[in-house]
Amino acid sequence: MTNELKGKVNYSTSGNIAILEVDNPPVNPLSSGVRAGLSEYITKANEDDSIEGIILTGAGRSFIAGADISEFGQTPDGPDLHTALKEIEYSKKPVLAAINGTALGGGLETALVCNYRMGTNKAIVGLPEVNLGLLPGAGGTQRLPRLIGPSQALKMMIAGTPLSAKKALQQGVIDAISENSLMDDAIVFLQEKIGSEVHPKVRDKNEKVLEARGDDNVLAEAKALAAKTRRGQFAPGQIIACVEAAINEDDFDIGMKKESEYFLECLMNPQREAMIHIFFGERAASKISDVPKDTPLLPIGSAGIVGSGTMGGGIAMNFANAGIPVLILDQDEKNLERGMGVIEKNYQMMVDRGRMSQEQKDVVMGLITPTLSYEDLSNVDIAVEAVYENLDLKQEIFKTLDTVTNDHAILASNTSGLDIDAIAASTNRPGKVVGTHFFSPANVMRLLEVVRGKDSSDETMATVMSIGKKMGKAAVVSLNAPGFIGNRMLAGYTHQANMLLLEGALPNQIDSALESFGMSMGPFRMLDLVGLDLGWRARKLADMETPLANKISDALCEQDRFGQKTSKGFYNYSEGSRAPNPAPENEAIYKEISDQNNIERREISDQEIIDRCILALVNEGARILEEGVAQRSGDMDIVYINGYGFPIWRGGPMFYANQLGLSEVINKMSNFSELDKNFWEPAPLLKKLADESGAFGEAPAPEDRSELLSFKMANMGGV
């Protein structure tokens, strides 16, 4: 095997069994050297007369994590994957996949060409390609429906969520679970099969696909699921088309051919590039550029939360879900009881919806302990304060936490905008103070902004980022600057939405335009959900004159139109419903305020709405990057996708700008400059990059799509 190829396969024998071990740390993707190794050693085992069975497994914690994602858009070396898989499928000697960890995407597809599959009880199997804008392109769309039925297979491939070993066994994805030594059990299992005349091949199992033939519900349900959960995405429709072929084509190889065609269409689609940018972007965001990789992490064996409100409860659930015992403190007994009740209800809802078992609920509830006393927090390794946004109150709490907790404890403030340095200054351990901006509901939303104060130590930062990962969050570092990353960008976006309303567009048009762009919720539906009264009250309290952009929303508040909470805001809501209905009675107010401010209302196109709102994000993003508040442009994409409903398939606002081309971004902005010269002044970094590279930061310029054809050749040449 050539040395330049990436990854390898180790070959050994145990009596009459050959063991092929994929070795490509850390997660064993099917890189060039792995594909070459599989081909080489399957042949070797078949040619060796002393070998009667073959076990395929992975080194380390993963079986195979799928195709090598970093090869997409490159020209990879080595043999193609389909040929290697065909060689396994047509091996003369039975092959057993011993799944020692994660078998994802091409990893599960490799296991599906084996005759038998056994997993450890920690194994995880799945086809998550949809999350990368792809479909399972190595036979997964044809083999999985044959194994577990088209309906289940479609659910698994559209959700992209993996199954635990236990569920995989129940559904028939694997044949057995090893409770002890996987290799010992695998050898015993295979020895028993070696005498059999026939060894099953998934490609030959046709009963389940034939059963679904003529049943329109199977595909209709999948289409409904895709429309509901993956709005605007290209790959789910392609997956459904592949399964349709699996159901209706008599010849397995025709289904495979269709899968290859549809896979290539996904590969060429810009959504794939955007979603892979997010995959790597999320991993890049978890690293802090000036914090050494080997920075020791502070051990976190317990946590304390101050405040049992919605945020505090959600944060406590995150710790418990990560297996970390957590105390939740409130000084008011009733609040504490209510808070624990909400936590219990949230978990119960997960049990009712099948997302958690009763036993799992008991375990996590057992990790959360309510307390009324600060003294109980004396031994926690991290305390997170989650009270309402009031600097004096937070400083008071930090003083107390500084006194009661051990010196080694990290103290975090859950704030959406207060000055972390001012909070840290109230303690004697500013190096151990950090901001953790969770998004509401904290147990659901994936975004976590980790705010780095001027004194936050490397250990503190690295530890909090690693807790974020343990919680399954998309954690992004922000410097301690007003609005951090997300809310600072949001300000320009909502400003433009409000100005468009003053200039003649109606809330429904603005929301629909942005929702058709892919935003999960338009700005006026969002404002109605959050409550218009928050800003209005704050301005009143500060005795502040209403800025032009907020004049309409303040006028609505004067009429008690606070949003969903009063059943009327920019929209009207029927009792108990969150569905927005147009509010024609507001139109006179809009007109009146436009007139009062000498703004002539006009027809506004959907494109102008999209450009103004989205490019406002991009321009502010450029400033944030220039000031070093965010480490990289991709971090802002992660923030916007995970915290603000930006469509993942567009890769985030900064990636979107790269795809438009930064010169085009500036051109578009200059069209709006007569509306507001200051606002539309391009950030200096934006101008500079438009002149130089044409793209933000490390983000690559749009791919040369001809390269993709070579990816196809390398991975799918055999089809």
Q: Which spans of this chain sit near ligand 3H9 (rule: CB under 6 A)?
A: 26-27, 29, 62, 65-70, 81, 102, 104-106, 109, 128-129, 132, 134, 136-138, 140, 280, 283, 715-716
Strand, coil or helix: what is 410? strand
Who contacts 25 (Cβ-Cβ below 8 Å, separation ≥6)? Answer: 59, 60
* Least Å from the CB of residue 438 to ligand 3H9: 20
CA 682 to chain centre: 30
Does 109 participate in catalysis according to the annotation? yes
Q: Alpha helix (H) ranges present in 10-80?
A: 32-47
Reference 519, options 658, 644, 657, 665; nearest CA is: 644
Cβ proximity to ligand 3H9: between 128 and 255 the closer is 128
* Least Å from the CB of residue 25 to ligand 3H9: 8
* Least Å from the CB of residue 716 to ligand 3H9: 6
How many of the other CB atoms lie within 10 Å of CB of 35? Answer: 29
Cβ proximity to ligand 3H9: between 27 and 506 the closer is 27
Cβ proximity to ligand 3H9: between 137 and 312 the closer is 137
Residue 216 burial class via C-beta count within 10 angstroms: exposed 0-12, middle 13-18, buried 19 and up:
exposed
* Least Å from the CB of residue 27 to ligand 3H9: 4
What gap in Å lies between CA 308 and CA 315, rounded to an integer? 9
Cβ proximity to ligand 3H9: between 32 and 151 the closer is 32
Cβ proximity to ligand 3H9: between 144 and 479 the closer is 144
* Least Å from the CB of residue 35 to ligand 3H9: 10
Does 129 participate in catalysis according to the annotation? yes
Measured N-to-C along each axis, helices 606-626 and 662-672 cross at an angle, to the nearest 10 degrees, of 120
Query: With contact defined as beta carbons under 8 Å apart, do 177 and 147 qualify?
Result: no
* Least Å from the CB of residue 144 to ligand 3H9: 11
How many of the other CB atoms lie within 10 Å of CB of 240? Answer: 24
What gap in Å lies between CA 627 and CA 510, rounded to an integer? 31
* Least Å from the CB of residue 670 to ligand 3H9: 38
Question: Which is the catalytic residue, given 21, 109, 259, 385?
Answer: 109
Dihedral pair phi/psi, residue 655, rounded to 5°? -70, -40
Question: Which is the catalytic residue, given 129, 273, 282, 620?
Answer: 129
Reference 328, options 273, 277, 376; nearest CA is: 376
Cβ proximity to ligand 3H9: between 189 and 263 the closer is 263
- Vertex 110: Cα angle to 108 and 114 (nearest 5): 110
Query: Checking DSSP bridges between strand 8-14 and strand 447-452, what pairing results, if any?
Result: unpaired
The structure tokens 């970094």 sit at 685
| Residue number of the CB atom closest to ligand 3H9 | 105
Query: Checking DSSP bridges between strand 124-126 and strand 163-164, what pairing results, if any?
Result: antiparallel
Query: With contact defined as beta carbons under 8 Å apart, do 432 and 402 qualify?
Result: no
What is the greatest pairwise CA distance in the chain? 92
Q: In whole angstroms, how far apart are CA 282 and each of 178, 435, 450?
A: 33, 19, 14
Cβ proximity to ligand 3H9: between 28 and 405 the closer is 28
* Least Å from the CB of residue 683 to ligand 3H9: 29
Cβ proximity to ligand 3H9: between 72 and 696 the closer is 72
Answer positive or negative: Cα dihedral of 155, 158, 159, 164: positive
- Vertex 229: Cα angle to 225 and 230 (nearest 5): 105
Cβ proximity to ligand 3H9: between 235 and 555 the closer is 235
Element (H, E) at 56: strand 53-58
| Dihedral, CA of residue 243, residue 245, residue 246 and residue 250, to nearest 10 | 170
What gap in Å lies between CA 327 and CA 332, rounded to an integer? 15
Cβ proximity to ligand 3H9: between 21 and 330 the closer is 21
Reference 47, options 98, 87, 85; nearest CA is: 87
Query: With contact defined as beta carbons under 8 Å apart, do 461 and 288 qualify?
Result: yes
Query: Checking DSSP bridges between strand 410-413 and strand 102-104, what pairing results, if any?
Result: unpaired
Query: Checking DSSP bridges between strand 116-120 and strand 176-178, what pairing results, if any?
Result: parallel
Residues comprising the chain, all counted: 719
Catalytic machinery residues: 109, 129
